[in-house]
Amino acid sequence: MKKFDRKNLIYVSLMIFSMFFGAGNLIFPPLLGQLSGTKMPLSLAGFLISAVGLPILAIVVVAKSGGLHILASRVHPRFALAFTILIYLSIGPFLGIPRAASLAFEMGVSPFLSNQISDSSLPLFIYTLVYFAIAYWLCMTPSKLVDRFGKFLTPVLLILITTIFIFSFVKPIGAFTAPIGEYASSPVLKGFLDGYMTMDAIAALNFGIVISIALNDMGVTEEKQLISRTIKAGAIAGMILAIIYGMLAYLGAVSQTRFGAVENGAQTLTNVVFYLFGQNGLILLGIIFSLACLTTSVGLITSCSQYFAKLMPKVSYKAWITIFSLSSMMFANVGLSRILKFSVPALTAIYPMAIVLMIIALFDKCFKGNRYVYLFAMIFTSVVSILDALGQFGLKINALNILPFYSNGLGWVVPAIVGIIIGFVYGKLKNKTV
């Protein structure tokens, strides 16, 4: 049995960080910093709750429950199958992985192409072909991800981002400005809602398989130790995420006075690195985006393939990574704007259910595992979240406007609480009648 020491714990933590830290994690903090200005610390606090707190909570809950499918089975076996498949496919080949590959191209290659070449679909096809070939090769040996991510790729990524942050003090960019819009009136809530878009809370539900494989390969096989190491590694990864988010938010906050308002965080980072390093800064930023997106894609392809290989044993793990690599490449070539058009409604539908499931599981002992709490909470939450998602496709349900916090994107909160209460009371009454 291999010795699992602190060094190995750090390597696993860095692997987890690399799987979380992808496209959205680079884009949203700088934009948050730019728009929140002097209220950046408050907005960042809200962002950290949803972009760091919820993912780490997901790792803890999944580790203790024995996997996402087992966790979702507390609602109903059929729900577990449908919900788990939906989670894996949405965060994987349908949305998460193609979004990462497309954004890596937009930031890492597109800026260096002429207008004539960039209008062609060929560069994106060639880039994604190489991108997913590398991803496929990395996914072939999931037990080596700790060495490849934790010992090499992630440290390089962290050094590059830290370099940009340090140089912003050597060559000052600007100063904090007044917050804009909702960042002025509700900075914490706005930051919390921005954290939704990283997808990390959903991704964390998937990564349990990859983390378990890595720990097993290091000799951690006893269940209690596996849970303990997973939670510790997740907590360390969360701390690193919080530090990097703080750096990126700061860069965005000081960029407003020099560059003015921009449309997204990618433009903010582009302006910052170009100012600090000139034309070479764009190469640096391209490397950062490519590394961040690649590591996330590998984590997602691996976790999806491991799950479906267990679900359908007749199809091998190698076959699944081939299927998911090819399908992700196909969807990536649809283009980033079209992917984002569908990702927001999908997140609107799935995210609330995932959050409620995790929170209920955390307090499972308080209601003695009453399955009706899970069932009714999920029914009430899913109705609101799915209708809200359909509204983003044009099917507006005006009745939803009466829900508390609906205008803030949290219309599911009160229905979830009502579902929990009804489920608890119904479970108590049903037990008395048995």
Q: What is the pLDDT of residue 433?
A: 65
Dihedral of the alpha carbons of 82, 83, 89, 95, in degrees to the nearest 10:
130
Q: Which pLDDT belongs to residue 237?
A: 92
- Which residues, 6 or more positions from 407, have their beta carbon under 8 angstroms from its beta carbon? 401
Confidence of residue 2 (pLDDT cuts 50, 70, 90): low
pLDDT value for 66: 80
Average pLDDT, the chain: 86
Q: How confident is the model over 213-239, as a mean pLDDT?
A: 85
d(CA 245, CA 161): 10
pLDDT of 390: 84
Question: Exposed, middle or buried: residue 390 (CB in 10 Å: 0-12, 13-18, 19+)?
Answer: middle
Asked if residue 183 lies in contact with residue 43, where contact means CB atoms within 8 angstroms, the answer is yes
Q: What is the pLDDT of residue 3?
A: 64
> What confidence score (pLDDT) does residue 1 get?
45
Buried b (16+ CB within 10 A) or exposed e, 212-228: bbbbebbebeeeeebbe
Grouping H, G, I as helix, E, B as strand and the rest as coil, residue 342 is helix
Q: Is the pLDDT of residue 364 over 60?
A: yes
Instruction: Give the model's pLDDT for residue 325.
Output: 95
CA-nearest of 81, 24, 17 to 347 is 24
pLDDT reported for residue 367? 85
Rounded-to-integer distance, Cα 28 and Cα 32, Å: 6
Tokens for 193, please give them.
């809602």
Contact 184, 39 (CB under 8 A): yes
Percent of the chain with pLDDT over 70: 97
Asked if 227 and 78 touch (Cβ cutoff 8 Å), the reply is: no
Q: What is the pLDDT of residues 323-344, one digit of tens each?
A: 999 999 998 888 666 776 777 7
**pLDDT for 21:** 87
8 A C-beta contact, residue 91 and residue 23: no
pLDDT at 285: 86
Higher-confidence residue of 378 and 204: namely 378
Name which of 46, 26, 25, 49 is nearest 36 in CA terms. Answer: 46
Give the model's pLDDT for residue 267. 82
Q: Cβ atoms within 10 A of the Cβ of 52, count? A: 22
Yes or no: say if 391 and 349 are a contact pair by the CB < 8 Å rule.
Answer: no
> pLDDT band at 279, cuts 50/70/90?
confident
263 vs 81: CA distance, rounded Å: 39
Residue 68 vs residue 395, higher pLDDT: 68
pLDDT at 336: 64
402 CB-side CA count, 13 A? 3
What does the pLDDT average to over 285-308? 89
Q: The whole model's pTM is what? A: 0.85
List of residues 6+ apart from 107 with CB closer than 8 A: 266, 270, 285, 286, 289, 290
> Mind listing the pLDDT tens digit for each residue in 44-98?
999 999 899 988 888 888 888 888 888 899 999 999 999 888 888 888 888 888 8
Question: How confident is the model at residue 264, as a pLDDT?
Answer: 74
For 106-147, the pLDDT digits (tens) are: 877 877 777 777 677 888 899 999 999 999 999 998 888 888
